[in-house]
Amino acid sequence: MLIKKPDDIKSSEITSEESYVNRRKFLAVAGVATAGVLGSGRILSAMTPAKRQDDKPNSWTEITTYNNYYEFGTGKGDPSQNATNFRTKPWTVKVDGLVKKPADYQFEDLVKPYKLEDRTYRFRCVEAWSMVIPWQGIPLAEMIKRFEPLPSAKYVQFTTIMAPDQMPGQRQPILPWPYVEGLRMDEAMHPLTLMATGLYGKTLPNQDGAPLRLIVPWKYGFKGIKAITRISFVENQPKNTWQLANADEYGFFANVNPEVDHPRWTQSSERRIGQFRRQKTLMFNGYAEQVAKLYTGMDLRKNF
């Protein structure tokens, strides 16, 4: 399983799908356990070999042509077809609410202070399909520290750009637009939570959420809000878009839980894209060791 403890999550140099996969094979065979310094200044960390054959990363083509992004259409192939001309430059992210440093941050200034990290995470969709994706990005906790939230900030709310002239899905009442998501502060500050800016070491494609999207690997994919233009720090739990659209089927927490089925399909198993045979779904998507303590004492059937 691709379960990494926070201390093990380090940067690695990813230049292409082929070199990335080949390096993983090399490390698995050679049993490399030490890190080497690359010419670029980044650290090449030893990659733990997958314990399950089906945990190898999905291909660039699979990741960029099969996804949910309703702003560009409801079909899995719609985003790759309809997001081609989506404009991500210039890009501004408004930070507001219960923080000491609210501001409108230009994307380049927002990401410049940080060293990008490469992290391979499982991705699990509520529709019971999954992938393994090598993201590149910034730990959300590091970004939040920069904004200096007040003690009264208990949640972080994220909002997607509203651009119906570029996003054909927003011209239809598919969902209450713009798309909104949220995390409890301790979830947002968890070392596994990532603000992704890239994929396979390349700039994040439009159809996968460019230029900035949220990755919370122990939650269902709809929590991974894309094309973020606003980050708000609030005291009360925000309503996320799918919760507003259908509260009986979609909750705020959206933790991957094989014991709680969606009303219309099972969550106990999943189909990895590119494979035929279904496999057992893991609690918290396989990250239980790292995140289960966040929900101690909570009824995860009610808090779905």
Domain enclosing residue 265, as ranges:
6-295
- How confident is the model at residue 26, as a pLDDT? 38
Class of residue 154 by CB neighbours under 10 A (exposed 0-12, middle 13-18, buried 19+) = middle
Q: Is residue 34 part of a domain?
A: yes
**Least confidently predicted of 2-11, 202-211, 290-299:** 2-11
- How confident is the model at residue 55, as a pLDDT? 85
- Contact (CB, 8 A) for 50 and 1: yes
- How confident is the model at residue 17, as a pLDDT? 60
Q: Is residue 304 part of a domain?
A: no
CA distance 237 to 96: 16
- How confident is the model at residue 4, as a pLDDT? 44
User: What's the structural domain count of the chain?
Assistant: 1
- Contact (CB, 8 A) for 184 and 155: yes
CATH of the domain at 69: 3.90.420.10
- How confident is the model at residue 52, as a pLDDT? 53
Phi-psi region of 86 (alpha: psi -120 to 50; beta: other; left: phi over 0): beta
- How confident is the model at residue 18, as a pLDDT? 56
Q: Is residue 300 part of a domain?
A: no
- Contact (CB, 8 A) for 240 and 112: no
pTM: 0.85
Dump pLDDT digits (tens) for 201-256: 999 999 999 999 999 999 999 999 999 999 999 999 999 999 999 999 999 999 99
DSSP label at residue 206: G
Q: Is residue 161 part of a domain?
A: yes
Q: Is residue 302 part of a domain?
A: no
Question: Which residue carries 């991705």 as its tokens?
Answer: 123
- Contact (CB, 8 A) for 193 and 215: yes
DSSP label at residue 277: S
Dump pLDDT digits (tens) for 90-141: 999 999 999 999 999 999 999 999 999 999 999 999 999 999 999 999 999 9
Distance of CA 52 to the CA centre of its chain: 22
Q: Is residue 301 part of a domain?
A: no
Indicate if the pLDDT at residue 146 is higher than 50. yes
Residue 170's Cβ-side half-sphere holds a number of Cα atoms within 13 Å equal to 14
Dump pLDDT digits (tens) for 11-60: 333 334 655 555 544 333 333 333 332 222 232 222 233 345 568 999 99
